[in-house]
Chains A and B, each alone.
Chain A
Amino acid sequence: MALPRWTIFLLLFLLCFVSKSVEEREEHEEQEEFSEELLLRPLPDRKVLAHFHFQSRVPPTETYGRHHHLFPKAIYQLVHKFRIREMELSFTQGRWSYERWGGYDPISSNNAKPPGVELWAAFDVPEHQVDASWKNLSHALSGLFCSSINFLESSTAYSAPDGGFRSSTGNMRYGTLPREAVCTENLTPWLKLLPCRDKAGLSALMDRPSIYRGYYHSQRLHLTSTEFDSTGLKTGIVLEQTLTVVLKPNAPGNNMGYSSGSILQPSWSLSSLFGKKVGGKCLLANSSSVYLQLEGALFSELNNIQKENERYNNDDLALKGSWSSPGFELSVSPDRMIKELNSLHEDGPSVLYEFLMENYSDSKLFELGFTWKFPVVWSCPRAPLHSSRFLMGSGNERGAIALSLISTKQSEAFQIADINGERCSLQVDVFQVVPWYVKVYYHTLQVFVDEQPQSVPDVIKKMHVSPSEDKVSPGVMEVVLNLPCGVKSAALTIEFDKGFLHIDEYPPDANQGFDIPSAVVSFPEFQASLNFLEDASSNRSPLLSKLKERSPVLSYTEILLVPLTTPDFSMPYNVITITCTVFALYFGSLLNVLRRRVGEEERLSKIKAAKKNGRLPLLLSKLSAKLRGRPWEPPQSSSSSSSSSSSSLISYKLLIKIVLVAGVAAGWQYYFG
Chain B
Amino acid sequence: MTKYIAKRLIMSLLTLFAIIFVLFILIRIMPGNPFPVERMSAEMILQKRLELGLDKPILVQFADYISMLMGGSFGNGTSLYNGAPIKPIMLKCLENSFKIGVLSILFGTLVGLIIGITAALHRGKFLDGLCTIVSILGVCIPSYVFMIFLQYFFSYKIPMFPYFFDPSRFLSSAVMPAMSLSLFAISTVARFTRNEMVEVMNSDYVKLAEAKGLYGLQLIRRHVLRNALIPIVTVIAPLVVDLLTGAMVIEKIYGINGVGKLMVDAIAGQGVDYNYVLALGIVFSALYIGIMLLLDILYGIIDPRIRLAAKD
Q: Indicate whether A and B interact.
A: no
**A residues whose Cβ falls under 8 Å from a Cβ of B:** none
**B residues whose Cβ falls under 8 Å from a Cβ of A:** none
